[in-house]
Amino acid sequence: MNSTLRNTTIDPWASIKWPILGLIIAVSIAVAVLALQSILIPVGFWLALVACVVLLRIMPSGMEILLFLIPAFAPAIPAFTGLSAHYIVLTIVWTAAFLFYWYFQSLSGAWHRESIRTPYIYPMIVYRIIFTISILSHPLHKNALNYSLQSIALIGIYWLLVQSLQGQNLRRLILAIIWGSILSAAAFLIAFSLGSPKYILFGLLYGVLRPVVMDYSANAWGWCAMVGMPLALAFLVHNLFTRRQLAGILGGLLLLTITALVCNSRSVLLAIGASSIFIMFTHPKARKRLFLAISTLPILFVLVPQTWFFAQNFLRLKVGLTGRVLLWRLASDYITEHPLTGLGPGWFFSKIVVDAPPTPDALHLITGRLSAHNSYLMTATDLGIFALLPVLFIIGLFAWRSTRLWRRLKGGPDFPLLVAISAMMIAGVIRAFFESDFIFLHGYLSDSLLLMVLLAIQDLLYHREFS
């Protein structure tokens, strides 16, 4: 893994790999240009791509560089690189850098010839077939081409990702995602405090502040907290941090907690809460502390009656699910009307703009993001109910394989890794009931990157134990 390019023997295929790689990147950039409907790619796109290539050239084994970027896909990359908000551009940056990484791995001898089998490829292929049937059954939407290209790319990129994890330090990879989440949280808090510092405490106490920073809503900015907190907490509970790392991680957890509270995204808070309870149950000492905290919570409500008042305001219980109920009802109606092939990729937004009543809640959600605010409903609405089967199969297969690994890894050095990815999967699956940014497999590839990493790490753990 530590060998450099100049100390390795280049195989005969190397002469044609560069042209092929150049062609792939050229096509990728062309897709990005078409997606932006402009010939002007933001300077930040080129800077980010060059930075990734240089870093990967210096560190051919540095997969953590790529995983570090994943938590920033939702909101934070534009703040640092000047990239356009279009997810397609961010996806192309990551994908092009990953292809460079894979190429340097193959040259440096780090590429292992033993192939890791991954059963997740098969439901992805089935999903792709259903996607194609849906496209052929409906008029082509303007976003269908983007969805189609990224849906095809997902299968190949996932396979390369799994193979590239061989020989990697999985702890470092997860730690890279944690630090990326912390950096995203810091970016949000800095941008938010510069814009409205006097409202931070007010928002924390009353939960009425729904910040918009860099043109991204609170739901988007809370994503980095949902990613970083379960992973960091799993490592913390199972004592995987060194003393040098511990102070920084505790400070980072504080930033992530503040970000989650300020953003006040209830789906994020629910996801973090459920995954945290799961993590605490996986360690005897942490389990005792959890039971102690639960038993003392009623005492707090008795001694401080105002606690319920703040909790009720913060969770916005009286507000309910705002416009989501409307979106879910309309999505359910569309599924009933087109159960087999759906509306077609991309047509949900075009149809709901016409059908939704002009109420403030409905208009706010419609202009906020082009989705049903539910990944499962979104999939069934666009592609039909059969498209849900491979999605649910992937989740179920992950749970089954994790159960098998649990018995084999418990008490071993890899057990905290399994706890971390399982907790993150729990958080993502819960979040997917309220947003469309985790298992939205037919949307932008960036929405599936975190899911692919979790599946790939489990594939490697499974390969180590059962191969």
Question: What is the structure's pLDDT at 351?
Answer: 79
Q: In this predicted structure, which of 184-198, 241-255, 331-345, 399-413 has the lowest mean pLDDT?
A: 184-198
H/E element, 314: helix 306-315
Predicted pLDDT of residue 312? 63
**Is residue 139 within 8 Å of residue 344, measured between CB atoms?**
yes
Query: What does the pLDDT average to over 152-170?
Result: 85
For the ranges 7-16, 31-40, 433-442, the one whose mean pLDDT is highest = 433-442
Identify the CA nearest to 77 among candidates 234, 215, 250. Answer: 215
Per-residue confidence (pLDDT) for residue 452, from 0 to 100: 92
What does the DSSP 8-state code read for residue 216? B
158 vs 108: which has the higher pLDDT: 158
Residue 182 above 80 pLDDT? yes
Q: Tell whether 298 is covered by a domain.
A: no
* Cβ-contact 212, 173 below 8 angstroms: no
Of 1-10, 44-53, 69-78, minimum mean pLDDT range: 1-10
Cα distance between residue 91 and residue 216, in whole Å: 18
Contacts of 285 (CB under 8 A, 6+ apart): none
Residue 10, pLDDT above cutoff 50: no
Q: What percent of the chain has pLDDT over 90?
A: 26
Which is more confident, 119 or 73? 119
In the chain, the largest separation of any two C-alpha atoms, in whole Å, equals: 75
Confidence band for 178, pLDDT divided at 50, 70 and 90 = very high
* Residue 374 falls inside a structural domain: no
CA angle 172, 290, 308 (to 5 degrees): 115
Q: What is the pLDDT of residues 328-367, one digit of tens each?
A: 888 888 999 999 988 888 888 777 777 766 665 555 555 5
**Three-class secondary structure of residue 213 per DSSP:** strand
pLDDT tens-place string over residues 265-293? 888 889 999 999 999 999 888 888 888 87
Residue 176 domain-assigned (yes or no): no
d(CA 146, CA 124): 17
Residue 248 CB: number of other CB atoms within 10 A? Answer: 12
Residue with tokens 């999903």: 127
Q: What is the pLDDT of residue 122?
A: 93
- pLDDT for 409: 93
**pLDDT of 111 strictly over 60:** no
Q: Which long-range contacts (CB under 8 A, 24 or more apart) does 447-452 make?
A: 447/87, 448/154, 449/70, 449/73, 449/94, 450/70, 450/71, 450/177, 450/227, 450/424, 452/154, 452/157, 452/158, 452/161
- 465 burial level (CB within 10 Å; 0-12, 13-18, 19+): middle
pLDDT range class, residue 242, cuts 50, 70, 90: confident
Number of separate domains in the chain: 1
Question: What pLDDT digit, counting tens, does each position of 93-109 carry?
Answer: 677 777 777 777 776 66
* pLDDT average, residue stretch 118-136: 91
Q: Give the Cα separation of 54 and 67 in Å (integer).
A: 16
What pLDDT is recorded for position 241?
A: 87
Residue 47 in any domain: the answer is: yes
Identify whether 86 is part of a domain. Answer: yes
For residue 18 the two structure tokens come to 């560069």
Which residue in 26, 47, 114, 29 sits closest to 460, CA to CA? Answer: 114
Residue 168 near residue 61, CB atoms below 8 Å:
yes
| Residue at 221 is within a domain | no
pLDDT for position 142 = 75
**Residue 83 reports pLDDT greater than 50:** no
Cα-only R_g, the chain? 22
Amino acid residing at 21: L
Domain region containing 107: 1-111
Distance CA 423, CA 431 (A): 12
Q: What is the pLDDT of residue 251?
A: 92
Q: Where residue 40 falls among pLDDT bands split at 50, 70, 90?
A: very low
| pLDDT for res 441 | 78
User: Is 312 inside a domain boundary?
Assistant: no
Predicted confidence band of residue 461 (pLDDT cuts 50, 70, 90):
very high
**332 belongs to a structural domain:** no
Phi-psi map region of 70: left, alpha, beta (phi>0 left; psi -120 to 50 alpha): alpha
Q: What is the pLDDT of residue 154?
A: 84
Q: Dig out the tokens for 108 from the structure.
A: 């440096």
